[in-house]
Chains A and B, each alone.
Chain A
Amino acid sequence: MTAPPGFNDLVHAPNRLQICALLAVVGSAEFSTVRDALGVADSVLSKHVAVLHDAGYVEVHKSTCASRVRTSLSLTGAGTAAYEGHVAALRAITESVSLADRGPVRRRAAVT
């Protein structure tokens, strides 16, 4: 069984897919905002961000504001391409099934 083109095992993990989905439509997002969106602990998010960062998909920026360190995340060009390719692959999987479901109906309609 072959994966459709663009399918990305690294992005497919549920939390990583959601991180990419959020970052794909914004310039950057605060670490705490992404954590709230996913409903996970800081340590869990850190682990997933590290995987995406090591793959070159996510950039981590640290800045200091009023003596507090703020961490923000953004998707790189490679990350955007990987995410969009993966979503297209997921759509291809679901559409291939819905087309297969529609096939017999068309044939039956042609007979009647």
Chain B
Amino acid sequence: MGLGDGVGPGEAAAALAAVGESRSWLADRATAPWWYHPMFGAFNGGLIAVGAARSAVLFSWSVVGYTFACGALMWWNQQRVGVRIQHHRGWENVVFIGQVLALAVVAGLACWLGVAQGLRVAFLAAGALALLLTVAFGKLTDVVLRARLQGRL
């Protein structure tokens, strides 16, 4: 017998193990499929790369398409997982801010090189870099999210 009313240490350990299993199940389910982050990367990269066309109309329509596509992808993922995860907590917030800053720097450099220096190819290179950065930060978000859901953070 343990300290709880009729709850022994074995039962307490089994209950804690069941909690851990539930958390692991949720962490597995919440992890995005392999193509999720590359798709977001393609959206981010595409929005930057379209700057090479130097067309305000095309860029405006791209922003509309980008917003719709990102919203639809996030909505689909939430339906798939079946939970509303509060992402902006602790380390996930740090990773998100890091991603936004990195993409802002890449986009800023592309604008400077592409518009001020006349290097149109800079938009395409920045688009490719944005894709890679989005995938890297997305994978990092998955790692941090898994750790939090499993109670390791």
- Report whether B19 and A21 are in contact in the complex, using a CB–CB cutoff of 8 Å: yes
Q: How far is the CA of A70 from the CA of B3 in the complex (A)?
A: 41
Of the listed stretches B21-29, B116-124, B133-141, chain A binds: B21-29
- Report whether B84 and A3 are in contact in the complex, using a CB–CB cutoff of 8 Å: no
Decide if B9 is an interface residue (CB 8 Å cutoff).
yes
Decide if A90 is an interface residue (CB 8 Å cutoff).
yes
Which of A1, A26, A30 sits near B1, CB closer than 8 Å? A1
Chain A residues closer than 8 Å to B22, beta-carbon distance: 18, 21-22, 37-38
Decide if B149 is an interface residue (CB 8 Å cutoff).
yes
- Report whether B7 and A93 are in contact in the complex, using a CB–CB cutoff of 8 Å: yes
**B91, chain A: closest CB distance, angstroms:** 14
Chain A residues closer than 8 Å to B12, beta-carbon distance: 90-91, 93-94
- Report whether B23 and A25 are in contact in the complex, using a CB–CB cutoff of 8 Å: yes
Within 8 A of A (CB), among B47-94: 81-86
Q: How many residues of B contact A (CB 8 A)?
A: 29
- Report whether B84 and A26 are in contact in the complex, using a CB–CB cutoff of 8 Å: yes
A87 and B3 in contact, given A25-B26, A33-B81, A37-B25 (Cβ under 8 angstroms): no
**B1, chain A: closest CB distance, angstroms:** 6
A32: nearest chain-B partner, CB-CB: B82
Q: How would residues 1 to 17 of chain A score, 1 for a CB under 8 Å from any chain B CB and 0 otherwise? A: 11110010100101001
Q: How far is the CA of A3 from the CA of B6 in the complex (A)?
A: 9
- Report whether B83 and A3 are in contact in the complex, using a CB–CB cutoff of 8 Å: no
Which of A3, A22, A94 sits near B26, CB closer than 8 Å? A22
- Report whether A97 and B18 are in contact in the complex, using a CB–CB cutoff of 8 Å: no
Decide if A27 is an interface residue (CB 8 Å cutoff).
yes
Decide if B16 is an interface residue (CB 8 Å cutoff).
yes
Q: How would residues 29 to 56 of chain A score, 1 for a CB under 8 Å from any chain B CB and 0 otherwise? A: 1101100111000000000000000000
On A, residues with C-beta under 8 Å from B are 1-4, 7, 9, 12, 14, 17-18, 21-22, 25-30, 32-33, 36-38, 72, 87, 89-94, 96-97
5 additional A-B residue pairs with CB within 8 Å, beyond A30-B83, A93-B4? A1-B5, A2-B3, A4-B4, A17-B19, A36-B82
Q: Which 3 A-B pairs have the closest CB atoms?
A: A33-B82, A97-B9, A93-B12
Can you spell out 24 A-B residue pairs with CB atoms less than 8 angstroms apart? A1-B1, A1-B6, A2-B3, A2-B5, A3-B3, A3-B7, A4-B4, A12-B7, A21-B19, A21-B22, A25-B23, A26-B84, A27-B85, A29-B84, A30-B82, A30-B83, A38-B22, A72-B84, A90-B7, A90-B12, A90-B15, A92-B3, A93-B9, A94-B9
